[in-house]
Structure 1
Amino acid sequence: MMEQLIVPVPNGHLRVERGGEGPPVVLLHSGLTSAGMWDPQLDALAAEHTVIRYDARSHGRSSTAHADYRNDEDLLVVLDHLGIGSASLVGNSMGGATAAAFALEHPDRVDRVVLAGAGVAGLEFRDEFLLGEYRRMDAAKEAMDADAFVEAFLRFGVDGPHRQPSEVDPVVREKCRLLAMETVLAHHTATGTMRSPDVLANLERIEAPTLVLMGELELPDLWRFAREAQRRMPNARLESVADCGHMVNLERPELFNALVLEHLVR
């Protein structure tokens, strides 16, 4: 059973969950989804760790941002509120960017890091497939078409450039659709902008042992970052998971859990 908490942050609040016992691990979700994306990880991690997960601002059940904010600063507030000195961080996509920014800014508060399909501040997106879906999202937003907006997200955030929707596990795709739709409907009035330090320019300064975990079918831009992270971060190693896209933790949960647990005690 996860304990339910509300943690105040400047100009808002975060819905936080905590469960299990042992060294703390924080699960940081992708953009447009919410903490629910980590459901397949809870039991495996909570058997040996204190697990914390929460909805970022303008996501899930947390408050809508109407002022600029930084996800890494919100993470610091969560750790301080819970009385946690240092923790391991597991982040997917946007959550990986948060983990990397936090490890850069607060190295003494980080034990180990897992970056799953992460892109970080400073990374230039060039892939035409991704840019095309971004244009579809912009058009859907202009038309106030939530279904089209979420479908464009699913194309790059779940399917990826190498698969059609019909080739993806429908249970995984539907879970992501529901999480994203919840976020879109609850937070479409957000006006605050998410800020971040330039992580890409400072990868050499992130010294925490880091597992860079990538689906084989991930976006080319994110693979470009993964290889750069492996090359430039002092203690990073790269693992590829076959037949997966962006949501490795949902498509291959047992393997994902095993790789994360192994890294946390490595």
Structure 2
Amino acid sequence: MIEGKLNVDDGRLYYAVSGKGDAVVLIHGNFNDHQIWNEQIDSFSAHYKLIRYDLRGYGLSSTPTFSFSNVDDLKALIDTLKLHNVTLVGSSMGGGIAIDFALAYRHLVKALILVAPSINGNSYPMNMMWQGTKNYINLRLKGRRKAIESFITNRFWEYVFPSQRKEAARTKVIHNIKNSNNFCRFTPSLSVAVKPVAYIRLHEIIIPTLIIISDQDHPFNKQAAETLHIRIERSSKVTMQDCGHLPFVEAPQEFNQVVLDFLSQRIESF
């Protein structure tokens, strides 16, 4: 595995590369970092050049102090590593970034794999917005450690965590979230939104797209997945059973096989 840090405008991005072949870039979601994909490393890097990285403000990447663009950061990483015809795999917020990037740089992206993705321009329910705001309020009032504990024990966010029955998976997710580098390090408004928003441009995506959602995810996320499936013409949707928001941690063997089958069958026939 090769690790590095890439200088970007007013910041640095951590990245790790393993394997050889066509490029697959994994993009984590909120409250996570590149290590949330640990269960994918061996399976994917046996067939592809696998790139994991920490978004700005997460993991080993720098904390933003000025406005920045996740799409620009990803472009800088792809350019630096001299990648082309990449497959983007995005979880949650990372899925939204993958969609935005595919719309901005469609000549660079071969396929999309979107795991319970957000969609830029798809407004969150008020309750979800409030629960997210509470994380920052708790951070100011209680400090980082107690705010993280409040997040983990908040019943609203239960869909993020594997059930008690899946002890190993639950421990992995909690460990990743307890990393203070992954929790509310910067004001979300610093992340510049792409305009026009992706929600009204989904029909422009014509590359093979796989949408993965779980049966126990939040209803809002299920609806977002269905919207993507309807509006992206060349898309397929897989619903993983007995999983929540992070199926690649909860059922990694099943998830990995679904992705590898899509990459070998759907793309080769495109």
- TM-score of the two chains, using structure 2 as the length reference: 0.89
Residue 127 to residue 235, structure 1, CA distance change in 2 (3 Å) = farther
1:174 aligns with 2:171: yes
| Counterparts in 2 of 1:114 and 1:93: CA distance versus 1, 3 Å | same
Tell me, in whole angstroms, the C-alpha distance in 2 between the residues paired with 1:103 and 1:153.
32
Distance across 1 between alignment mates of 2:243 and 2:155: 13
Equivalent pair of 2:69/2:191 in contact (CA under 8 Å): yes
Deviation string 1:64-83 (CA, Å, 9 cap, x unpaired) is 10111111111110010001
Q: Which residue of 2 aligns with 1:17?
A: 16
Q: Is the 8 A contact 1:94 1:119 kept in 2?
A: yes
Shift of 1:174: 2.7
Deviation of the 1:160 alpha carbon? 1.3
CA distance in 2, matches of 1:68, 1:233: 30
- Please name the residue that 2:224 is paired with: 225
Three-state SS of the structure 2 residue aligned to 1:244 is coil
Shift of 1:110: 0.4
Q: Which residue is equivalent to 2:136?
A: 138
Cα distance in 1 for residues equivalent to 2:167 and 2:148: 15
Rounded Cα–Cα distance in structure 1 between residues aligned with 2:66 and 2:83: 27
Give matches, 1:235-250, under 5 Å.
235-250=234-249
Contact 1:38/1:249 (<8 A) preserved? yes
Assess if the C-alpha contact under 8 Å between 1:34 and 1:183 holds in 2. no
Deviation, structure 1 residue 166: 5.6
- Letter aligned with residue 214 of structure 2: G
The reply to whether residue 50 of structure 1 matches residue 66 of structure 2 is no
Q: Is contact 2:41-2:50 (8 Å) kept?
A: yes
Letter in 2 for 1:160: Y
User: What is the CA–CA distance in structure 2 between the aligned matches of 1:69 and 1:191, rounded to whole Å?
Assistant: 10
Matched letter for residue 140 of structure 1: N
- Specify whether residues 250 and 166 from structure 1 end up closer, same or farther in structure 2 by C-alpha distance, changes over 3 A only: closer
1:48 shift after superposition: 0.6
Deviation at 1:157, TM superposition (A): 9.1
Does residue 68 of the first structure (1) align with residue 67 of the second (2)?
Answer: yes
In structure 1, distance between residues paired with 2:102 and 2:185? 30
Q: Does residue 196 of structure 1 match 2:193?
A: yes
Answering whether residue 221 of structure 2 is matched by residue 260 of structure 1, we say no
Task: State the shift of 1:123 in Å.
Answer: 1.1
Q: TM-score, normalised by structure 1?
A: 0.90
What are the superposed Cα offsets for residues 201-228 of structure 1, whole Å, 9 maximum, x if unpaired? 1111111211110011111111111111
Task: State the SS of the aligned residue for 1:25.
Answer: strand
Conserved? CA contact 1:96–1:117, under 8 Å: yes
Q: Which runs of 5+ in 1 are unaligned?
A: none
- Write out aligned runs for 1:91-170 (5 A): 91-126=90-125, 128=127, 130-131=128-129, 133-151=131-149, 153-154=151-152, 159-160=158-159, 167=164, 169-170=166-167
Identity %: 26
Q: Which residue of 2 aligns with 1:38?
A: 37
Output the CA distance in 2 between the equivalents of 1:67 and 1:156. Answer: 33
Aligned pair in 2 of structure 1 residues 192, 62: CA closer, same or farther (>3 Å)?
farther
Equivalent position SS for 2:125: coil
Q: Which whole-Å CA distance do the structure 1 matches of 2:3 and 2:156 have between them?
A: 28
For 2:132, the aligned partner's letter is Y
For 2:52, what is the secondary structure of its paired residue?
strand
After superposition, the CA RMSD in angstroms is 2.3
* d(CA) in 2 for partners of 1:99, 1:32: 17
Residue of structure 1 in register with 2:87 after alignment: 88
CA contact (8 A) 1:4 1:18 kept: yes
**Cα separation, 2, equivalents of 1:232 and 1:180:** 32
Per the TM alignment, residue 189 of structure 1 is displaced from its structure 2 partner at its CA by 5.6
